[in-house]
Amino acid sequence: MVVTEVLERNSKLYGNEVALVELNPTMEDTRKYSFKEYDLVQQTKTHIYRRQITWQVFDEKANRVANMLLDRGIKKGDKVAILMFNCLEWLPIYFGILKTGAVAVPFNFRYTADEISYCASLADVSVLIFGPEFIDRITMNSESIARNRLLIYVGGESKPDFAENYWSLVADYPSTSPDIKLTTEDDAAIYFSSGTTGFPKAILHKHLSLIQAAEMEQKHHETGRDDVFLCIPPLYHTGAKFHWMGSLMAGSKAVLLKGTKPKTIISAISEERCTIVWLLVPWAQDILDAFDRGEMDPKDYHLSQWRLMHIGAQPVPPSLIKHWFDYFPNHQYDTNYGLSESTGPGCVHLGMENVRKVGAIGVPGYRWECKIVDENDKEVEQGQVGELCVKGPGVMTCYYNDPKATAETLKNGWLYTGDMAMQDDEGFIYLVDRKKDVIVSGGENIYPVQIEDFMRRNNKIKDVAVIGLPDKRLGEITAAVVEIKEGMECTREELDEFCLELPRYKRPKEIIFEKIPRNATGKIEKNTLRKLHGADNLVAKETMN
């Protein structure tokens, strides 16, 4: 079975039930809908922008997209890119691409004009489907981007001259499924690496990866027909989409929420009666801070149905989860680890039954294997640090058009993650740090995550990132970039005293007070911090409000 068949099954079994809700609390629903495609969309007009579609409409929309693309000459193996913010059209377009046998290529909505052009060329994209927010960026390189490509604009009636209008294109195409046979061995999607060290790499996955992610997510979190999943992260990222696929497997509702402010998230959970919520660490911390400051009270919201909060994309401070249970003592909790190369989160997961092991990323996920190896590819002894490797049906096929990088990352079926980890005597894996982020100071290996976890115990610290900076004597020294909670003050001397509990060689030699940059998936952009704070910029501010 492939995921497009799951969608068709849901359309037949649960056709009139709600599949997707788009919720945007930042705008009012004032748009006028002139294209008949919108007649298929149920409009619920309140004080906020809200739309919803059923499973039947979802499938019909995907079929229209597929039939349109096939009519325009798209065939099995062709590459079709999506450059859009989360919206009700995103997933039907994605599934429409898959139904043609073409390869779906989601683009990061933060890409610059040059990155859009680069990724389109790297992935051999034939069609680019984009939203109104990206007109300016595409216009900057429209000559190169539009060359030998079909550009489709998903917006209002007015469109840029170099593109065709999505609604006009799909309106008259049949809503019946195209007769394209797919197997789990067919290519399905290309995702891009985060590109924190340069331009992104294109990660190719088969349909096997997609159905594995869907089945694994439902199994890990026991997603049922009555669950409602709140999806906040961008759908171009594997984490958001493949967590949502648990809802696809269950045939249950999901809510696409625009906005990450604490009140926005909690209100959506309350109003939509969400039961499963995937948060990034900064969002969870912001919610706790808002509760602590008295800006929100959980008692003012309908939250009794909320059963599971899970986190991924980065190491999770145990102190955060401990505090979370102060407000939500009955919540189930899970940590999910993964990479785009492993079809997103879940190749390692804590497991809802293992809350006592908070701090670990967990054990091998459903159908996955793990090992930890040294620099000679030999498995390390229990308790020793090495590189985490994973193996399973969700491993990428390759880095598309990059055989050298593929050979460095895939070895005998094992995916070398680049993450340093260790395993305890119960088999639980602990993430120590990214291999490239390890600081070597005076011959000692220092793992920034361990220092970051310690410093987050300070109740004045909202976020912290530890990086290595050049030093003539030691090679590198540790520098802690610290973001202080709103309304609080903290000095360098306070943090120096707080860090006295650390071994001397692990204590930060520099303290820099400023906001921590994170990408759209919540990962700290340490490369950005390294560029900002070179050897000539190590003058720490003594006090930060």
| Pure H helices in 293-370 | 318-327
Is residue 306 very low, low, confident or very high in pLDDT (cuts 50, 70, 90)? very high
- Of 479, 477, 480, nearest in space to 441 by CA: 477
Joined together, the tokens standing for residue 262 give 């604490």
Q: Which residues, in sequence order, are CB contacts of 82 under 8 Å at separation 6+?
A: 90, 93, 94, 97, 104, 105, 106, 107, 129, 130, 236
Joined together, the tokens standing for residue 432 give 């120590």
30, pLDDT greater than 50: no
Indicate the DSSP class of residue 518: B
Q: Return the half-sphere exposure (C-beta side, CA atoms, 13 A cut-off) of residue 327.
A: 22
520, pLDDT greater than 70: no
Domains and CATH numbers, the chain: 3-221 (3.40.50.12780), 444-544 (3.30.300.30)
Percent of the chain with pLDDT over 70: 89
Q: What is the dihedral of CA 266, 272, 278, 282, to 10 degrees?
A: -20
- Position 326 scores a pLDDT of 95
Name beta bridge partners: 198.
none
Is residue 205 very low, low, confident or very high in pLDDT (cuts 50, 70, 90)? very high
Is residue 161 very low, low, confident or very high in pLDDT (cuts 50, 70, 90)? confident
The span from the CA of 124 to the CA of 118, in Å, is: 10
pLDDT 10s digits, 388-414:
999 999 999 999 999 999 999 999 999
What pTM was computed for the model?
0.82
H or E stretch including 134?
Answer: none
**More confident site: 468 or 99:** 99
- Position 540 scores a pLDDT of 35
pLDDT, averaged across the chain: 87
pLDDT 10s digits, 333-367:
999 888 889 998 889 999 999 989 988 999 999 99
pLDDT 10s digits, 469-499:
887 656 788 899 999 988 888 999 999 999 9
- Position 49 scores a pLDDT of 84
pLDDT 10s digits, 33-59:
333 333 333 333 344 689 999 999 999
Name beta bridge partners: 469.
477
Q: Average of pLDDT values for 5-28?
A: 91
By the 8 A CB rule, do 396 and 408 touch?
no
Q: Average of pLDDT values for 319-331?
A: 92
Output the DSSP codes for 22-54.
EEETTS-------SGGGGGSEE--SSSEEEEEE
Is residue 215 very low, low, confident or very high in pLDDT (cuts 50, 70, 90)? very high
Amino acid code (one letter) for 13: L
Q: Which residues, in sequence order, are CB contacts of 131 under 8 Å at separation 6+?
A: 83, 84, 85, 87, 153, 154, 155
pLDDT 10s digits, 261-282:
999 999 999 999 999 999 988 7
